[in-house]
Amino acid sequence: MSTQSVNAQVDFDLPLQDTNLQAQLPSSIQQLQLRNVQVSADGLVLQINGIPKMSASRIASPDRIILDLQTTEVAPWIHNSLIAVNRYGVKQIRVAQFQKSPAIARLVFDLDNNSPASWQSSFDQTRGLLVLRPLGISGTSNNPSNLPVTGSTVANNNLATTIDGLSFNGYGQLVIQASRAISYRTSLDLATNTYNVTIPSTRISSQLRRPILGSNSPIEQIRLNQVGDAVVVSVKALAGWQIRETARTNTQAISLQLESVGQVATGNPQNPRSQIQPSYSNNNGRQLVVIDPGHGGPDVGATRNGVYEKDIVLAMSKQLGRILQQMGYSVMYTRTEDIDLDLEPRVQMAENARASAFVSVHVNSLDASASQVNGVETYHAPGASLGKNLAEFVHEQIIASTGATDRGVRSARFHVIVNTSMPAILVETGFITNPSEAARLVNSSYQERMAAAIAKGIDQFLRSYRR
């Protein structure tokens, strides 16, 4: 691959406290974005969509270099991040948005005793990489092939840190485990009681392990999103519960403590869902079924060996919708493409459409140590008698049609089935962590058989309760 580059020398051998040096690089008119900072065999690599005007200064006590990129915003997933270097006379680099208007991205190089006197910069326009090469230090080259690959959701394997799994320990803590030491920042969305952990310079492992949330779990939902070069773990707790950080004893793990903050007041101890009578028609006189393919977009769901839950359930859901339409039902999908969609909008679609039934389609997973586990589980909301009936009809048809292991009809407080007023179920169609079952789940013929069984169960339920 040919490399178009612009070269300039940046002199970092500055008098202490000199803040006036301007690097002689062409400036860019448009707003730029710094998307990543990495260490390569060639030096320090900045992923940026243009050539910024740079200014540098060197300050003592402690010895450090401050590099400002003018007219450049810092991508949110690397803002306030710390990149370990331990090469080229640089211990680490701190990255932050120093100023918003006009935008200035600031990189602080914490130096050791071997810091080079000068650096040379070059910009690879083909791949959007600004490379800072130390002069006078052996072990660097001008070979473009040494640079990280950009534009891919999978980072350079030599540099990538992965989020490998989430699990519960014996202290009531949810533990996020990484392949290497990680830094992170947290935030709390009070409106939804969701605790967000942003882990920069990481990616979601293709062998990700996720915990099973039982019906008594204080956690309603766990989502992992790949946001640029950061992984965002969002943990939504039930009302009456809160999440807090614990002291770190392992740099490769983050432990979140779940704590009860008192009982939630309720006006009526009975589950209102069991009192609701369904409306079995929509405005065109035909019964409407809302089909909800789980996850989507950066929320890939369960995954194993590069296969994503979001893709399996979308294909299966489309087949389910087609079969239901052939049976004479109206069908609405919460999503028909690979898009990010939160839980509440899925519920509101069904509520606004006055659906007759709501069916959420998912794929299950366990730790790699439990790869022998397989089978189908069908869930309804606790106390929802009609939801339980729908689950029983559907589950019976799936087991009879597919021959899958029967793991039973269960109740759980999944958001989409607890907060919908019509009969609602969530079907876990199999375990992607079981090699044999995973091979069936990605097979289009098996997907169609599963969809036909779900459709038959829905049809039996709606015919039984039709008024």
Residue 19's CATH number: 2.60.40.3500
Rounded-to-integer distance, Cα 230 and Cα 37, Å: 12
| Backbone φ/ψ region at 295: left (φ over 0), alpha (ψ -120 to 50), beta | left
Domain co-membership, 308 together with 404:
yes
Domain co-membership, 196 together with 280:
no
Cα–Cα–Cα angle for 375, 381, 385, nearest 5°? 105
* Best-predicted range by mean pLDDT (20-29, 240-249, 323-332): 323-332
Average pLDDT over residues 34-60: 81
Average pLDDT over residues 147-164: 52
Question: What's the start-to-end Cα distance of the chain, in Å?
Answer: 68
Better pLDDT: 254 or 123:
254
- Residues 339 and 402 sit within 8 Å (Cβ to Cβ): no
Domain co-membership, 298 together with 399:
yes
Listed in sequence order, the residues at least 6 apart from 13 whose beta carbon sits closer than 8 Å to its beta carbon are 58, 117, 118
**In this structure, how many other beta carbons lie within 10 angstroms of the beta carbon of residue 6?**
13
Asked whether residue 265 is domain-assigned, the answer is no
Domain that holds residue 189: 161-260
Domain boundary among 118, 146, 174: 146
Please, what is the average pLDDT of the chain? 79
Is 121 in a helix, a strand, or coil? strand
DSSP state of 328: T
Domain co-membership, 428 together with 280:
yes
Domain co-membership, 207 together with 334:
no
Domain co-membership, 385 together with 283:
yes
Burial of 16 (0-12, 13-18, 19+ CB in 10 A): exposed
Domain co-membership, 279 together with 256:
no
Is 162 in a helix, a strand, or coil? strand
User: How many structural domains comprise the chain?
Assistant: 3
73, 428, 437, 448: the active-site residue: 428
Domain co-membership, 291 together with 435:
yes
Residue 428 catalytic? yes
pLDDT above 90: residue 47? no
Rounded-to-integer distance, Cα 25 and Cα 69, Å: 11
pLDDT above 70: residue 211? yes
pLDDT at residue 100, rounded to an integer: 85
Verdict on whether the full-model pTM lies above 0.75: no
Average pLDDT over residues 405-430: 94
Domain co-membership, 28 together with 66:
yes
Question: What is Dmax (Cα atoms) for the chain?
Answer: 86
